[in-house]
Structure 1
Amino acid sequence: MTSRTERRDAMWIVIGAAVLISMAMRLRQSLGLFMQPLTQELNLPVAQFTLAIAIQNLAWGVFQPVAGALVPRIGFRAIMLLGAVMYLIGLIGLSVTTTGLGVLIFAGFCIGPAMGCAGTAITMSVASRAVSAARRSLILGIISAAGSAGTLYSAPLGQWLSTSIDWRAGITAFAILACLMIPAAWIAGRIDRRPIPAPPQGVTEALSARLAAIQALSNPSFVVMALAYFVCGMQLIFLTTHLPAYIEICGLDPMLSATALALIGGFNILGSLFFGWAGGRWNKQALLGMIYISRSLVLAWYFITPPTPGSTMLFASIMGFLWLGVGPLVAGSVAEMFGLRWQAMIQGIAFMSHQFGSFTGAFGGGYLFDLLGNYTLAWQLGVGLGLIAGAMQLTFALTRPPAPRPA
């Protein structure tokens, strides 16, 4: 294969991965827009909808390392196609369900495992293998940015259809968009034809999934990163699930929720590109700590002050910039510490911690709201734990020897 052909093939692989993650991440992240009309029509408590989102995130976290461990056996393409089909089934089922059990099954037990097969760990591992080590961090930033791009159209579209027709129309539109995931998974699956690049100098890749997991869990830098990732997941899913309801409770225009989610997606493109670029130049784990601390301070500012349309849009813009920049930093750190052979599985192990945090943020936020009638304690816990996690990550990163840099 010529060098030019290889570059063209790599470009298509990265595009396929970008489209797949764009659909997968942003359609599910906009589901919070439908919480109020769905629970009212089906006569469900808010906690039952948030339980479905919590199950979705927990299943995503549990299935992602399993999917990563299966990649060396059956390939990326089979895993990603399975995820795309399950995702589509989940959205179609959710659009026609009439019961709380249906919401749990389709939003939780279908979309959750689908994300494990088509989410961040898998798509970033695909992109990592397609490009050179020197370009990897920036390309991972581009993949993370693609995960945000979907919000620019999915959130306004979903809100407009939900307001103009009903919430079922909005989810049906999401299902139509999700059809793009199948060809995207097929194209990204071309990576299976490529050899696995050599690991960084000084890194020894494990010979089996079990040994790779042991290697990761015995590495202090990885363990600290995974624990801090728990709080990251808790903060983000709390916002995507509960921010629309909070805005409506405060008496603001419900369309502001879609605007806020779209701004998060738009500014996340800039943030992901920036942190992908920055991760190729500075300590990735120190950058993670700074993101967690900054997010927590912005969260505290927004919820302490009475929200207005202006403050909400400013908050969404800043949070968007700090949103998925963690993705390329975590993925790049895993590749530097352990190589690429088991990257999807090891990154999936870290992401499992993230998703346990997501479970806590989605269900815990709904539970505390039902219990207290407001979100005060929920956001206070999110801010406090975020500051602790950020300080822990930053301190540990600055006191450990740096990871080897790509050539």
Structure 2
Amino acid sequence: MFQVLLCGAAIVTLSMGIRHGFGLWLAPITTERGWTRETFAFALAIQNLAWGAAGPVAGMLADRFGAFRVLIIGSLMYAGGLVLMGLATSGLAFTGSAGVLLGMAQSGTTYAVVYGVIGRNVAHDKRSWAMGVAAAAGSFGQFLMVPVESWLIGYAGWQNALFVLGCAALFIIPLAFGLKEPALASGTGQPKQSVGAALKEALGNPSYRWLTAGYFVCGFQVVFIAIHMPSYLKDKGLGPEVATAALMLIGLFNVFGTYIAGSLGQRMPKKYILSTIYALRSVAIIIFLFAPLTPWSVYLFASVMGFLWLSTVPPTNAIVAQIFGVQYMSMLGGLVFFSHQIGSFAGVWLGGLLYDATGSYDIVWWISVALGVFAALANLPVREAALQRVPAAA
């Protein structure tokens, strides 16, 4: 179990850490290429959509053949996407590399695939905690990588910084050996299912649908903030060091938030944890918008949002495993995550679109507030009890 947690956390640290700082590239790329913010935002929106669309496929392959092969392919695609992102000179090429290729790469190197291995190798009574540990350790990468990426952009230029990160993404390959499972267990104490039967069962389950709807909101909020907050702060007259520090604080407090959420999931209903997280996000955004904007108000907001940032991930995935078992956990977790990424697409793209149309991010901030209230309510009807399956008659 220790090896799985260590290598899984390191992989998520690297894969999520690299993408967490993408907002730092918005200003230098759009300035040098002469693109609008919508061009950059649309590519990142496509990235999130491609990540979500490829997630169930990557999860199904990991469930069927093991995470090891999926991680290797994902690592190679990640490296190639970052290099091509730096070489792209048109909006279409940028969307293909930063959008489609990197999105597909992330589907095979992040939570859905890693959590599937954790789910199959950690006992039920420690599963939520283990997912919290992996997410917390992975969150440290977001704290660590933002200053590194900011320094790389300033020292080597934005293009060379992407090339360096492309090389770093290849380190996922040796880490993948730590998640190489000798053989995927075919039995989990429940009747065997086909892929089609598992999908039909999940999509027909009201709790799964409510969980999926709530996760849309998570994606909308966090990706809008991660990508557009540096530019929002710049528009308000704050220096780039404030945005860098804010993203670092989000990553740092994300460590504590994800670990605590995972640990609490062992002691109380996870749906109440999720509902509370979404409600507190809306409250935090409202206070941030009405409070005087200073570096310290930004740091306080980033710390609070960081605590709530990916703390939705351990309880959401633990509920999926608790209801449906672990046989198709990567696939079903990837399908829920698809909803998250549709929300991410909407958040990052609407941020650029409405900014170009109105010259302000205000509308998107208030959409985030309303969606947070919806998600808080959507998680309350979720039933976490395991499904009791009856073997098919001969």
TM range (shorter): over 0.9
Q: Distance in 1 between matches of 2:40 and 2:192?
A: 41
Answer yes or no: is 1:191 the counterpart of 2:181: yes
- Residue aligning to 2:288: 302
**Shift of the alpha carbon at 1:196?**
5.7
Which amino acid letter does the alignment assign opposite residue 195 of structure 1? Answer: A
Which of residues 230, 247, 270 is equivalent to 1:284?
270
Out of 379, 385, 393, the residue aligned to residue 403 of structure 1 is 385
The one-letter amino acid paired with 1:191 is E
Distance 2:187 2:256 in 1: 29
The 1-side partners of 2:145 and 2:186 are apart by 35
In terms of mean alpha carbon deviation, does 326-335 or 73-82 score higher? 73-82
Number of equivalenced pairs: 387
Which AA in structure 2 matches 1:350? V
1:180 aligns with 2:171: yes
Distance in 2 (CA, whole Å) between partners of 1:278 and 1:214 is 30
1:205/1:341 contact within 8 Å kept: no
- Residues in 1 aligned to 2:271 and 2:221: alpha-carbon distance in whole angstroms: 18
* Matched residue SS, 1:105: helix
**What amino acid is the match of 1:94?**
M
Residue 213 (structure 2) pairs with residue 227 (structure 1): yes
Structure 2 residue 84 is the aligned partner of structure 1 residue 93: yes
Q: What amino acid is aligned across from residue 198 of structure 1 in structure 2?
A: T
1:137 is displaced (CA, Å) by 0.9
1:293 aligns with one of 273, 279, 283:
279
Aligned to 1:36, which of 27, 52, 77?
Answer: 27
CA distance in 1, matches of 2:329, 2:296: 41
TM superposition shift of 1:28: 1.0
Contact 1:14–1:130, Cα closer than 8 Å, also in 2: no
Mind listing any 5+ residue stretches in structure 1 that lack a counterpart?
1-9
Structure 1 residues 215, 161: CA separation in 2 closer, same or farther (over 3 Å shift)?
same
Q: For 1:118, what is the secondary structure of its paired residue?
A: coil
- Preserved CA contact (<8 Å) 1:23 1:147: yes
The one of 324, 341, 354 equivalent to 2:340 is 354
Within the alignment, does 1:242 sit opposite 2:232 as a pair?
Answer: no
2:63 touches 2:330 (CA, 8 Å); kept in 1? no
Q: Is 1:272 aligned to residue 258 of structure 2? A: yes
How far residue 165 of structure 1 moved from its aligned partner, in angstroms, is 4.0
Corresponding letter in the other structure for 2:82:
L
Q: Which residue of 2 aligns with 1:160?
A: 151
Partner amino acid for 1:14? L
How much is the aligned-residue C-alpha RMSD, in angstroms? 1.7
Residue 118 of structure 1 pairs with residue 109 of structure 2: yes
Query: Residues 29-178 of structure 1 correspond to what in structure 2 (within 5 A)?
Result: 29-178=20-169
Q: 2:15 matched to which residue of 1? A: 24
Query: How far apart are 1:79 and its partner, in Å?
Result: 1.0
Q: 1:137 to 1:154 in 2, by over 3 A?
A: same
User: Alpha-carbon deviation of 1:183?
Assistant: 1.0
Q: 1:135 Cα deviation (Å)?
A: 1.3
Deviation at 1:102, TM superposition (A): 2.5
- How does the TM-score come out when normalised to structure 1? 0.91
- Describe how 1:328-339 pairs up with structure 2 within 5 A: 328-339=314-325
Deviations 1:62-101 (A, max 9, x none): 1111111223432211111111110111111112333322
Matching of residue 345 in structure 1 with residue 327 in structure 2: no
- Taking structure 2 as the reference length, the TM-score comes to 0.94
Report the CA distance between 1:173 and its aligned residue: 3.1
- Residue 18 of structure 1 deviates from its aligned partner by 1.1
